[in-house]
Amino acid sequence: MKTIAIIGRPNVGKSSLFNRLAKSRIAITSHIAGTTRDTNAAQITLHNGQSVRIVDTGGIEDTSDELFTKVAHKAKQAAKAADLILYLVDGKLLPTQEDKKLFFTLQKSAPTLLVINKIDNDSQKELAYNFAEFGTKAMHFISVSHNRGISQLLSALESTLFPEVQEVAQDIEEELLEALESTFENAPNVSDLQTAKPVPESSNAQFTQEAQSLETIQVGIIGRVNVGKSSILNALVGYDRSVVSAQAGTTIDPVDEQITFENSTLRFVDTAGIRRKGKIESLEKYALDRTSKVLEQADIAILVLDSSAPLVELDEKIFSLVQKHALGVIVVWNKWDIAHADFTSIRADFLRRFRFLEYAPFLTLSALRGRHIKELKHKILEVYANYASRIPTSKLNDTIAKAVRTHPIPSDHGKLVKIYYATQYATKPPQIALISNRPKSLHFSYKRFLVNQLRKEFGLSGTPILLAPRPKGQGNPESAF
């Protein structure tokens, strides 16, 4: 698949154009220069039916700032890997030497179209003609905010990337015209049509069946700012996909990448770091909203903790997101090479503060040194298998019956509470209905006891188990446990 990279200096509208072409608000946009740090990618289909990959990049500028130097480097890497470059400029500003220099440099990597944004009307186009000094005929005037010139730009993308398709289309059009002319010339009379025999259907018609795509395991990486989430993503995919910096809050847009491991597709999304509400700065409020949307689509959350420092209250609040979205979970202690305490002490403190996550696997690693990264991949597969598992009904009911015999259900103010039977009605995570005569009388502590018995019997490490007490149906119920 061919790739189109959107390149330019900060705040010229690259992310807005990316969202417009993708027809979705994937990238965070704002008036603040430097909003985009990592690259974003999406697949789109052009008018000619060809699919292409578009890549949004961070702004390129000369700076001594370590973070934005890395952002510019990432953008230039995307340009070198592209089949076509859209160099975006702000049409309301005069051309700069830096723009011209970048444009000429990019032309050496791939065909480059000069796209002049923020041209909201014809009068503004006059000023934009100053960009003719770039010496290119491939100038395209657009206004992303007003959806102006986008169709013409898409046509230019098609003709530049797929010239052979354009030629074939013209040839087909000419052949169709010739065929139509021939058809009309040799058309039968109406009387001939009345006696014509119907053409039998072909006996060897071919049917195509769409191949089923392999299921993708969606993995969200979450945690406080500066705990090493981006470093973990880079270690998992095997290259520097995400910009890493000592500056807290480096990641703004969710950064996603997928790999194949053990015949499974793992799609990782590195999310923005979370701060205390009172310390959320500027763009981070948008990033938090995107993090929530990522978790809505995720199967598993990798909860990243900083081994070099003790747990804080914010960690507990972040972990509550796992419960909210009912995700599979793996707890990862990063920076273990500089851990502030020994394993036994850190684990004991964790279990004391996070009793509701005692079922979660517990891994120590160092993303920078590549320690235990392969073990983390294996653990993802294990947790996902539990997350998507279905317990056989007979074994499920045997386990529940045994639990009830071991520890009878407490009565409701002297009234007997019964569970007639259990059935699993959904997966991801496992969701089990408990058919009862008094479903509202099953106390949460007893449900927790039943969950623990299910874990004892079936394992199910890393996945929540949801129990839903329900009233019995019409007719005679089965014998109660």
pLDDT digits 0-9 by tens, 104-145? 888 888 888 999 998 888 878 887 888 888 888 778 999 988
Q: Are 126 and 94 within one domain?
A: yes
The reply, when asked if residue 292 is annotated as ligand binding, is: no
Tell me, what CATH number does 339's domain have?
3.40.50.300
Q: Are 100 and 224 within one domain?
A: no
The reply, when asked if residue 149 is annotated as ligand binding, is: no
User: Per the structure block, which two tokens stand in for 86?
Assistant: 């859209």
Task: Let me know: does 82 contact 5? Beta carbons within 8 Å.
Answer: yes
The reply, when asked if residue 9 is annotated as ligand binding, is: yes
Q: Report helix angle 284-297 to 313-325, nearest 10.
A: 40
Point out which residues pair with 12 in neighbouring strands. Answer: none
Return d(Cα 416, Cα 412) in angstroms, integer. 7
The reply, when asked if residue 273 is annotated as ligand binding, is: yes
Q: How many domains does the chain have?
A: 3
168 in a structural domain = no
What pLDDT digit, counting tens, does each position of 279-293 carry? 444 444 554 566 677
The reply, when asked if residue 472 is annotated as ligand binding, is: no
pLDDT score for 174 = 55
Q: Are 34 and 130 within one domain?
A: yes
What pLDDT digit, counting tens, does each position of 288-321 carry? 566 677 788 899 999 999 999 988 877 777 777 7
The reply, when asked if residue 274 is annotated as ligand binding, is: yes
The reply, when asked if residue 334 is annotated as ligand binding, is: yes
pLDDT-derived band at 463 (thresholds 50, 70, 90) equals very high
The reply, when asked if residue 56 is annotated as ligand binding, is: yes
Q: Are 352 and 418 within one domain?
A: no
Kindly give the residue spans of alpha helices, DSSP state H, lying in 298-342.
313-325
The reply, when asked if residue 186 is annotated as ligand binding, is: no
Which position has the token pair 């946009």?
A: 29
Contacts of 252 (CB under 8 A, 6+ apart): 28, 35, 36, 37, 38, 272, 283, 284, 286, 287
Last residue of a domain, one of 163, 181, 204: 163
The reply, when asked if residue 4 is annotated as ligand binding, is: no
pLDDT score for 49 = 83
Q: For residue 309, give Cα distances in angstroms to 318, 329, 333, 338, 417.
A: 16, 21, 10, 9, 47
The secondary structure of 197-250 as a DSSP string is PPPPPPTT-----PPPPPPEEEEEEEEBTTSSHHHHHHHHHTS--S---SSTT-
The reply, when asked if residue 192 is annotated as ligand binding, is: no
Domain region containing 307: 215-245+253-387
What pLDDT digit, counting tens, does each position of 185-220 carry? 554 443 343 333 343 433 332 322 233 345 789 999
Percent of the chain with pLDDT over 90: 32
User: Per the structure block, which two tokens stand in for 361?
Assistant: 């696997």
169 in a structural domain = no
Q: Are 331 and 415 within one domain?
A: no
Return d(Cα 387, Cα 312) in angstroms, integer. 28
Q: Are 157 and 76 within one domain?
A: yes
The reply, when asked if residue 58 is annotated as ligand binding, is: yes
The reply, when asked if residue 15 is annotated as ligand binding, is: yes
pLDDT score for 63 = 55
Return d(Cα 425, Cα 444) in angstroms, integer. 20
Handedness of CA 460, 461, 463, 468 (dihedral sign): positive
